[in-house]
Amino acid sequence: MTTSPSEQITALYGPRFTKDPTRVYEEIRRRHGPVAPVLLGGDVPAWLVLGYRELYQVTSDPERFARTSRHWHSWHRVSPDWSLRPYVEPQPSSILTDAEEHRRLSAPLHEALAAVDQVELRAQIAQIADRLIDDFVGRGTADLVASYTHRLPLLMLARLFGLPGHEVPGLVRDVALSADRGHDAVRAHQRIVRLMRALVRDKRHRPGADLPSRILAHPRALGDDEIATDLFLTLAAAQLTTADWMGNTLRLMLTDDRFAITLSGGRRSIGQALNEVLWYEPPTQNFIGRFATADAHLGGQRIRRGDMLVLGLAAANTDPHARGPRRCPAGGDDGAVGNEAYLSFSHGEHGCPYPAQEIATTLVHGGIEVLLDRLPDVHLAAGAPPLSWRQSVWMRGLTSLPVMFTPGPPGGA
């Protein structure tokens, strides 16, 4: 990418970005318009696509804006321990492929996800959620991020993946680390990939009623390395997005009076809160990335062949030129309810597959519903430090969510 020497380039990292990315996006939009030059961690240059229409255009044209980074011209600028490397570098996978190849190779994964029984899924979610709540219900206090929102999705995914129980604690730790920065993120990614490779080998010899076994049994199944990479990317995306979607929604319901008054009944407000979070505080705020296969003009900027584009999902949702809901001065919105035109699951061939969206929605809605049923008077802990956000350019989630409630017995008796 090229910019004029006087052009100010914003860094998508650091305390200011972590604290209030929405304000940073607004400043970038005022300065540059719907497509802007930015720096990722390690001062890696990229274009941030903030415009709703421009993001829709990029995700609808996988031939010009490709998914695989083999088109990228700046690999020489990143270090071996660059924390975004596991999600950007070329790997054997059906997910990290360009348009035509993606259409041909994605069927085994998509069909395996579609085969998940939603009725059984809801029952298992309720069972796991109850067990987690039993661990802290008697204390009257809990950190919902550490004890609930970051554990429930991964425990459910471990079941869907057919993972042995003893692997889950380490997996919980490593998936969380993989979204952060630095050496720990890279090492965590390597451990997860090794685990997925071992899982594929095991399921090839001992198949079960699980996602890897269904993929392996598909007539167009890929090789073990490709399946292992697909499983890692699916697991990481599913865990991080559902955990943060759940945490961000609970934060909204515990801090916004529109939801606080209904917490004792709760159920009718959960869907509204989930939808509002996808508009204003989506768990995946930026997605990295797309890569220009030819010179192009986009949003008033000249994009060079080989440039990286970051999909600014959160920024695009609040694009003033889009027809999404608008924030009201007193809080809330003027039309998020029932409006699902957000881009929080991305869009196009490489967007989140619909079966995966359905699983995520069932998981997050079910987890919040059980929590509110078991802890009807749950509220933010008095005297707790201000809520803080994890340092990540692509995920938006809390580091903790301390709450208080009336202690109760295990099992909800």
CATH code assigned at 379:
1.10.630.10
Confidence of residue 108 (pLDDT cuts 50, 70, 90): very high
SS3 assignment for 9-44 = CEECCCHHHHHCHHHHHHHHHHHHCCEEEEEECCCE
How much of the chain, in percent, has pLDDT values that exceed 70? 91
The answer to whether residue 281 is domain-embedded is: yes
Amino acid 87: pLDDT: 77
Which region, left, alpha or beta, applies to residue 152 given φ > 0 means left and ψ of -120 to 50 means alpha? alpha
Statement: residue 194 has pLDDT above 70: yes
User: For residue 318, what are the CA distances in angstroms to 35, 310, 324, 326?
Assistant: 14, 16, 7, 8
β-strand partners of 398: 389
Query: Amino acid identity, residue 331?
Result: G
Q: Which residue has the tokens 């190849």?
A: 101
The residue-averaged pLDDT of 42-66 equals 95
Give CA–CA dist 300/404, Å, rounded: 50
The answer to whether residue 78 is domain-embedded is: yes
Confidence of residue 84 (pLDDT cuts 50, 70, 90): confident
The answer to whether residue 2 is domain-embedded is: no
| C-beta separation of 316 from 34 below 8 A | no
The answer to whether residue 329 is domain-embedded is: yes
Confidence of residue 413 (pLDDT cuts 50, 70, 90): low
For residue 93, give its domain range: 10-412
Residue 18: HSE in the Cβ half-sphere, 13 Å Cα cutoff? 15
The residue-averaged pLDDT of 394-402 equals 94
The answer to whether residue 1 is domain-embedded is: no
Amino acid 175: pLDDT: 79
Could you tell me where the DSSP H helices lie in 206-311?
A: 211-217, 224-255, 257-260, 267-280
Confidence of residue 85 (pLDDT cuts 50, 70, 90): confident
Amino acid 373: pLDDT: 93
Statement: residue 299 has pLDDT above 90: yes
The answer to whether residue 265 is domain-embedded is: yes
Mean pLDDT of the chain: 88
Instruction: Pick the range with the lowest mean pLDDT from 12-26, 28-42, 329-343, 348-362.
Output: 329-343
Amino acid 394: pLDDT: 87
The answer to whether residue 3 is domain-embedded is: no
Sign, CA dihedral 82-238-241-45, equals positive
Q: Are strands 296-298 and 141-143 parallel, antiparallel or unpaired?
A: unpaired
| C-beta separation of 311 from 365 below 8 A | no
β-strand partners of 292: 65
Give CA–CA dist 201/30, Å, rounded: 52
Peptide bond into 289 cis (omega under 30): yes
Instruction: Pick the range with the lowest mean pLDDT from 40-54, 239-253, 307-321, 326-340.
Output: 326-340
* 268 CB-near residues (< 8 Å, 6+ apart): 262
Statement: residue 403 has pLDDT above 70: yes
- Give, as one character, the DSSP assignment of residue 350: T
The answer to whether residue 4 is domain-embedded is: no
The residue-averaged pLDDT of 338-357 equals 87
| C-beta separation of 163 from 170 below 8 A | no
pLDDT tens, position by position, 127-165: 999 999 999 999 999 999 999 999 999 999 999 999 987
In the chain, how many domains are there? Answer: 1
Amino acid 412: pLDDT: 59
Give CA–CA dist 223/221, Å, rounded: 7
